Structure 1
Amino acid sequence: MLLVGNGHLLSLVPERPYLADGAVAVEGDRIVAVGATAELRRRYPEAEWLDARGMVIMPGLINNHMHLYSTFARGMALKEAPPTNFLEILQRLWWRLDKALTLEDVYYSALIPLIDCIKNGTTTILDHHASPCAVRGSLEMIAQAAGEAGVRTCLAYEVSDRDGEEIMRQGIAENVEAIKKYRGGEGLLSATFGLHASFTLSDATLDACREAAEEVGSGFHIHVAEGIQDVEDALEREGKRVVERLADHGILGPDTVAAHCVHVTEREIAILKETGTLVVHNPESNMGNAVGCAPVGEMLAAGVVVGLGTDGYTSDMFESLKTANVLRRLVSGDPNAGWSEVPAMVFSNNSRIAERFFAHPVGRLQEGAYADIILVNYHAPTPITADNWFGHLLFGFNGGLVDTTIIGGKILMRARRLLHLDEAAIAARARELAVKVWERF
């Protein structure tokens, strides 16, 4: 048993979000008790003691839309004119990079950002993968990397028609095998059915994916109306907007994650609500790709479950929530916006979304939840209370302040030192592979 205490405890449980001197008791991979430090030390005198030394004890953060495969794009120069719109970004960068990946590349491109997750306090991710020239076995490579890193990961392969029918069929099979092996398991890994986006999926492919997913009881993880091109394509194909088209093909539902939803109408928001579809906002990516800003306020007001992700832009969810906050204010023109919406996305809805894919609660310090815990080396210059903790988190925290990361009850980083991985050796091998990827690109 492990007992983590003597710190400011942010449980993120609404009934009792903050304890001035709190502790968490861990047995195996789950939390068995949360309470005052003195009380839990009396109750569990034989437990291994991890002294937080006044740091903040809180749940690890969740990234509900991630692209681990994007790693080798760092520092890479394009070989033609820079893209001028979102479709060109896909065509000139991402769809060329994913084709250049081998299975070994997939493994290392996953391992590097998974290490970043540990160092930045992100303990759960929903990944969305593509490697058209190395489809079969790619999710198992990511599963291996996630297992070695120790980060809770939901796998998905993004099926698309853009590389032909054979690659599309391989993508379906890759999803089905991963779902059968990992979905609903008790460990670190889960899986769902990945789809790229409406504009790269024919009616026949959507129907084939729906049928395959129904056989294994899965929903989907799909990009929705990220760029205006997705909307234009859906209107040209069927005279319907993206959400309407996906709903008509049975893709939406309470186990489906719709990433982005930038270009959605009031009617489409109503459909998302009616179907119980889960939405993930990716503010940095949307800004970086100049595609616009999702109507987060309108979706939340309509009762849509909207969480937060990064789309591979970063592994630091503190960074993402800060961006979500200021973007919400900028777009709304209201300097008070974001105070309720952002914590709802990051701490309430992200947990609700991730819990669709894992056997036990995540993102909260409560009995029965997975023991995914971080210690943040933040020494408050003003009082922390149950009412103002988010202000401290928003303006005082960042991933670089994460001192200790525990996932599934295992201490993976202590005093910012990884305890189980040789980061330098992993990065050195990744650099060797990156040179070859860039040549193929």
Structure 2
Amino acid sequence: MTKTLLRGGIVLTMEPGRRALDPGSVLFDDERILAVGSVEEVDSLPASAGAETVDVTGRVVMPGLHNTHLHSGLLRGTAESMSLWDWLKYHVDPAHKAMTPEIARAASELAYTEGVLAGTVSVLDMWRFLEGSAEVAGELGIRATLAPYVADLEPYTFFESLDSNRRLLEFVADRKDPLVRAWVGVEHWLYSTDAGIRDAVELARSAGTGFHTHSSESIFEVQESLTRFGRRPIEQFYNWGILGENAVVAHCVWLDDREIELLAKTGTSVAHCPCSNMKLSSGAAPLQRLRSAGVTVGLGTDGEKENNNLDLVEEMKFASLLQKVTTLDPSAGDPWDILEMATIEGARALGLASESGSLEVGKQADVITVDLRALHTTPILHGNDFNAAAHVVFSSSGRDVDNVWVAGRRIVADRALLTADVSTVRQRAQDAAEELFARVRALRRSGEVPVLPSAPEG
């Protein structure tokens, strides 16, 4: 059995109490963490004998990041400057109608590769043809929770169905990959019938899986829910039986106090996607109110098309700044709060907190190092002036992540991916994107999807 000793770094354990070891060391084997402590403490342990030692001086050692809301995709840089619903109508939905399993697989390969190189060890991916995504996650060695885009309301039935969701559950179970799981996913309540949503909830309950969907991303959704049901979306989710400890709801921007109370009471988690919410002009989620009420809130990038990168380290900075500017409270978005959302709270939202999200003896070794030896992370200060946590949130990006281990397996070493060839991943994604856009253009010419209002096609 191989043992690895990360020695001499600034260790942010993300345990309760916001423990930092400066300097400190982390020892783990091929799966689990064996010791966390000061350099001297860990050096003195018999278990450290014979370990492969990695000098991590000048780096933060911390838990890997959990992306609690991701859409794989290939639309980056093309779906710009539109409101949410026009953006869906003219870009996202046509791409899904043109999607093939091969294109979907290449998109997930690109997304997961980009994410892991930026410190993401776990994703909740809502996407299409997720059997290929399960294979990609297994090849890369990352954690993946896969929730299909299920929709049963015309004209959205080109998305996934409950039958395809059932097949995915069986496919993933048969693979027996301990790092890859399948959940039930509903694209959106506006894309679904009442019966379809209730059937999806029942499938998740009977299969013993989690449930993932979107809600309250725009004020339009709230107005539409009040018109249709006489209640706000999260209240309607409660009536449908969606809310619960196994549910993660993305966005939750437009909530009132009653909805926050329902989320807290039921143990429902929220995936906060600040970059997406800003880019689509959706608004700012009531992060402080949610966390104060006891709601578990994880961070998500959302998709590459509504964020333009999948850098969860960068997302932390935006999560903090968005709270500061919208609440006019400079104490909002405290760096440690944001770090919790990206690590232990994200793991808790995904039902993984017993195995991941903090550096504790017995947990699986999901560990990253963030290099602070750059101009933009200088000076590094210690003692009463300790600033490493602030550097990770406000000064760093995913490009500063230089090492990644998932369940004790080294995936990234000195910024190099060990489990796939990055140039091959990129070329496959490029080829898949060109095929996808050609297929969308053909659908526009045939009248099957809307023609872009700014660029009519002949």
Worse overlay, 145-154 or 378-387: 378-387
1:197-245 superposed Cα distances (whole Å, 9 cap, x missing partner):
2211211111111222221123311101112232233222221211111
Matched, 1:378 2:368: no
Q: Which residue of 1 aligns with 2:65?
A: 61
Distance 1:320 1:335, change over 3 A: same
2:316 pairs with one of 318, 321, 337: 321
1:363 aligned to 357, 361, 366, which one? Answer: 357
SS of 1:272's partner is helix
- What is aligned with 2:86? 88
Moved more, 247-256 or 361-370: 361-370
Gaps of 5+ in 1: 131-137
Following superposition of structure 1 onto structure 2, how do residues 273-352 of structure 1 map, counting pairs within 5 Å? 273-312=264-303, 313=307, 314-339=309-334, 341-352=337-348
Give the structure 2 partner of residue 171 of structure 1: 161
Task: Mark the runs of 5 or more structure 2 residues left unpaired by the alignment.
Answer: 441-458
Q: Distance in 2 between matches of 1:188 and 1:25?
A: 21
Q: Distance in 2 between matches of 1:51 and 1:344?
A: 25
CA-to-aligned-CA distance 1:368-418 (integer Å, 9 cap, x gap) = 222111121113514234864422222332211111111121112211112
Q: Contact (CA 8 Å) 2:8, 2:57: kept in 1 or not?
A: yes
3-state SS of paired residue (1:146): helix
Aligned to 1:97: 95
Which deviates more from structure 2 when the two are superposed, residues 343-352 or residues 89-98? 343-352
Q: Aligned residue for 1:50?
A: 54
Structure 2 residue 419 is matched with structure 1 residue 396: no
SS of the residue 1:432 aligns to: helix
Asked if 2 retains the 8 angstrom alpha-carbon contact of 1:220 and 1:257, the reply is yes
> Is contact 1:156-1:194 (8 Å) kept?
yes
Aligned CA distance change for structure 1 residues 75 and 375 (closer, same or farther; 3 Å): same
- The equivalent residue for 1:134 is none
* CA displacement at 1:129 relative to structure 2: 1.1
The superposition leaves residues 307-352 of structure 1 with CA deviations (integer Å, 9 ceiling, x where unpaired) of: 2111122321111110011110110012222116434423442232
Q: CA deviation at 1:359?
A: 8.2
CA distance in 1, matches of 2:201, 2:59: 47
Count of aligned residue pairs for this structure pair = 425
Please report how far the alpha carbon of residue 268 of structure 1 lies from its aligned counterpart in structure 2 after TM superposition: 1.0
CA distance in 2, matches of 1:377, 1:406: 15
Contact 2:217 / 2:253 at 8 angstroms: preserved in 1?
yes
Provide runs of 4+ in structure 1 moved above 4 Å: 162-168, 180-186, 385-388
Deviates more, 1:145-154 or 1:30-39: 30-39
Q: 1:106 to 1:186 in 2, by over 3 A?
A: closer
What residue in structure 1 maps to residue 412 of structure 2?
413
1:212 aligns with 2:203: yes
Q: Which amino acid aligns with 1:209?
A: A
Q: What is the correspondence of 1:146-225 to structure 2 with a 5 Å cutoff? A: 146-162=137-153, 171-180=161-170, 182=172, 187-225=178-216
Structure 2 residue aligned with 1:133: none
* AA aligned opposite 1:434: A
The residue identity in structure 1 corresponding to 2:423 is A
CA RMSD of aligned residues (A): 2.3
Question: Is this contact kept in 1: 2:141–2:419, CA < 8 A?
Answer: no
SS in structure 1 at match of 2:14: coil
Q: Which range moved further: 110-119 or 23-32?
A: 23-32
1:30-49 maps to which residues of 2 (within 5 A)? 30-42=32-44, 43=46, 44-49=48-53
Shift of 1:61: 1.2
Distance 1:359 1:310 in 2: 20
Alignment check: 8 A CA contact 1:5 1:37 kept = yes
| Amino acid across the alignment from 1:201 | S
Partner secondary structure for residue 249 of structure 2: strand
1:167 CA drift (Å): 5.2
Task: Answer yes or no: is the 8 Å Cα contact 2:314–2:396 preserved in 1.
Answer: no
- Quote the sequence identity (%): 33
CA distance in 1, matches of 2:205, 2:273: 28
Shift of 1:260: 0.4
Q: Secondary structure at the match of 1:439?
A: helix
Specify the SS of the correspondent of 2:187: strand
- SS where residue 186 of structure 2 aligns? strand
Moved more, 304-313 or 159-168: 159-168
Give the alignment partner of residue 251 of structure 1, picking from 213, 220, 242: 242
